[in-house]
Amino acid sequence: MKIVRTLVICGAISLSGYYGITHSVNPALAQIVPDNTLGDNQTLVKPNVEVKGLPADLIEGGATRGDNLFHSFSEFNVRDLQRVYFANPAGINNILSRVTGSNISKIFGTLGVDGAANLFLVNPNGIVFGANSQLDVAGSFVGSTANSIV
């Protein structure tokens, strides 16, 4: 009887821990996770920002080198019906984003740039576009599974 009671208590603790872990993360941010490899030039994801007249998640910050803006993520996914845009500061012509985690990137919603910069998305693990995905870029888009850009 004591063993059964202990197992029930352990199971309840495990379930409450599982619920806390799986339900405490903001789902809008869980799909796009900056990896903090750019030092003081961190990437920020702002949820529910108006972009082109509609709500979207806006990616800001990053590391500027000349007319290039670099972002680095451990996870990068866009859910169905989600809108994700990269901010395009003045003087930036290219936005280069890499994914350093071990998962493919799933683009099922809208991925865009709030401006005219070219967008590069590099994930060595792969990039998948779903049936409802859209690109909203005034410049060019390049998706690559390369390990690096040289």
- The bridge status of strand 94-99 relative to strand 118-122 is parallel
CA-CA distance, 28 to 72, in Å (whole number)? 18
Closest of 115, 16, 34 to residue 75, by C-alpha: 34
**At residue 129, does pLDDT exceed 60?**
yes
CA-CA distance, 46 to 118, in Å (whole number)? 21
pLDDT tens digit string along 38-91? 999 999 999 999 999 999 999 999 999 999 999 999 999 999 999 999 999 999
Amino acid identity for residue 100 in this structure: T
pLDDT value of position 19: 36
pTM of structure: 0.80
What Å distances lie between residue 94 and 27, 64, 89, 118, 147, CA to CA? 28, 10, 10, 5, 19
CA-CA distance, 26 to 46, in Å (whole number)? 12
**CB distance 103 to 75 below 8 Å:** yes
Residue 2 φ/ψ, nearest 5 degrees? -65, -40
| 58 vs 12, residue with greater confidence | 58
Q: What average pLDDT is seen over the chain?
A: 86
**31-144 maps to which CATH number?**
2.160.20.10
Res. 102 pLDDT band, cuts 50 70 90: very high
**At residue 127, does pLDDT exceed 80?**
yes
